[in-house]
Structure formats: C-alpha cells, structure tokens
Amino acid sequence: MYHRILLKLSGESLMGEQGYGIDRLRLQQYAQQIYHLANAGVQIGIVIGGGNIFRGLSGAQKGFDRVKGDQMGMLATVINSLALSSALEALGQKVRVMTNVRMEPIGEYFSKDKAVRLLNKGNVVIFAAGTGNPYFTTDSASSLKAIEIEADILFKGTRVDGIYTADPEKDPTATKFTEITYDEVLRRHLKVMDLTAITLCMENQMPIYVFDMDTVGNLQRVINGEPIGTLVKP
C-alpha cells in the first residue's frame, strides 16, 4: 500500500448528471472513498479542478482577459475544495484546505513543511487555487504538489478508465494502455494531462496512474494494486 499519495480530482466530474455546479451525491461518494482510505493509514493530498464552475481557457475564448479568466478558475477550485472539505469533516475526517493565493481565513497559505506536518498527523490536505499563477492548469498544480509533498504517486481520477490510443468516447476502435512511458504520451500527443504537467512528472520521476474515479470503490481498488487504469512511468 502507498504511504502518501496526491489525488487529482476532476471538477467536471463533480457535476454528476447536473451539467453544472456540485452534485451532492457525487461529492459524498468522493468523500466516503477518501475517508476510508485515510482511515486505512494512507496520507492523502488532493488537488481538484474547477471546470464544473468556470474554466479560465474557455472564458478567454469567450472574451475574458486570460489572466482574469484563470484567476476566476482558481476561485472555482477553492469553492470545490471547501465543498469537499465540508463533506469530509461531516464524516469525522480531519482535513485542511491550503491555498496557493493568500485568502485567509478561507484557507491557509501553502507551505510544504506545514502540509507535510498535517499529512503526518492524519489530515487530508486539499490544495486549492491551482499553482496560484495564470496559464497553469490544475493538472500542473497536481504534478507540482505531488513532487513538493514527496508523494509516492499521482493518481488522476477522471471519467475514463485509463489512457487510450484515441478518445474512446469518439473513437470505438481506441485501445487502452495498461502502462505507457512519459515519452510515448508526449510523442503520441495523448490528452492525459497538459505538457507542463507531464514534463514535471517526467523530470522528477513521479509516476502517474489514470483511472475512473466516478465508479464507487475504484480508489480503493487502485490502492490495492488492481490493474483497472493506466500507469505512466519512465
């Protein structure tokens, strides 16, 4: 079993069937899976996207200033982080929200040393507001945080059960990889994570495991080593 993980969650998945915002059932399902894993002794850091509320790049395409659009996206991740924090606290889990933009008392400003101390004390730590900088995605934030907290692995929970040769929702002939190298992801231009995120992980030897988080129980399955997703490694 892993000692410390970084879990990247999709903001869009939080919508559930609603099409916008936060689906209460999906939020509870995520919280329960994380709670059971934390209680089994796994240290968990979390980065969650904001696409269910606002996505900076989409905003820029609609006429928003890109920097302001990305800042709006960062705030969307804070809303999702607070929602997940509240759901975990309702289960009795110790949890802290740390932000990469100063906004006390909403969240504590990120410090690696403080984050590691909290993880060692059994807190789930949610890292909000992306990297704190425009032009960087929450994928990049999750890679950065995984490296900073010295996680064993970065788990990317998505709506798809792994990495395919093409988009399986558009191409029925797409085949799934069980394992793939960083180089091959980059060479094939596979839309796993953005280039910055993949490069950060590659340069720091941070393995990535992509799996379907929306199926209840899958988080425990990947921790147990069941091959239900795709491993990205050197």
Cβ 192 vs Cβ 229: under 8 Å: no
Residue 57: per-residue pLDDT = 63
Per residue in 16-49, pLDDT (tens digit) is: 888 889 999 999 999 999 999 999 999 999 999 9
Q: How far is 21 from 23, CA to CA, in rounded Å?
A: 7
Closest C-alpha among 2, 11, 15 to residue 50: 11
DSSP state of 110: P
Residue 56: per-residue pLDDT = 62
Cβ 57 vs Cβ 63: under 8 Å: no
Residue 113: per-residue pLDDT = 98
Q: How far is 188 from 101, CA to CA, in rounded Å?
A: 35
Residue 19: per-residue pLDDT = 82
Q: How many CB atoms lie within 10 A of CB 104?
A: 8
Residue 59: per-residue pLDDT = 60
Residue 55: per-residue pLDDT = 73
Residue 125: per-residue pLDDT = 98
Helix (H, G, I), strand (E, B) or coil at 212: strand
Domains and CATH numbers, the chain: 4-233 (3.40.1160.10)
The neighbouring-strand residues paired with 210 are 156, 230
Low-confidence spans in the chain with pLDDT less than 70: 56-60
Residue 172: per-residue pLDDT = 87
Helix (H, G, I), strand (E, B) or coil at 214: coil
Q: pTM (2 decimals)?
A: 0.94
Provide the pairing of β-strand 230-233 with 179-181.
parallel
Residue 60: per-residue pLDDT = 61
Per residue in 139-169, pLDDT (tens digit) is: 999 999 999 999 999 999 998 999 999 888 7
Residue 228 backbone zone (phi > 0: left; psi -120 to 50: alpha; other: beta): alpha
Residue 82: per-residue pLDDT = 98
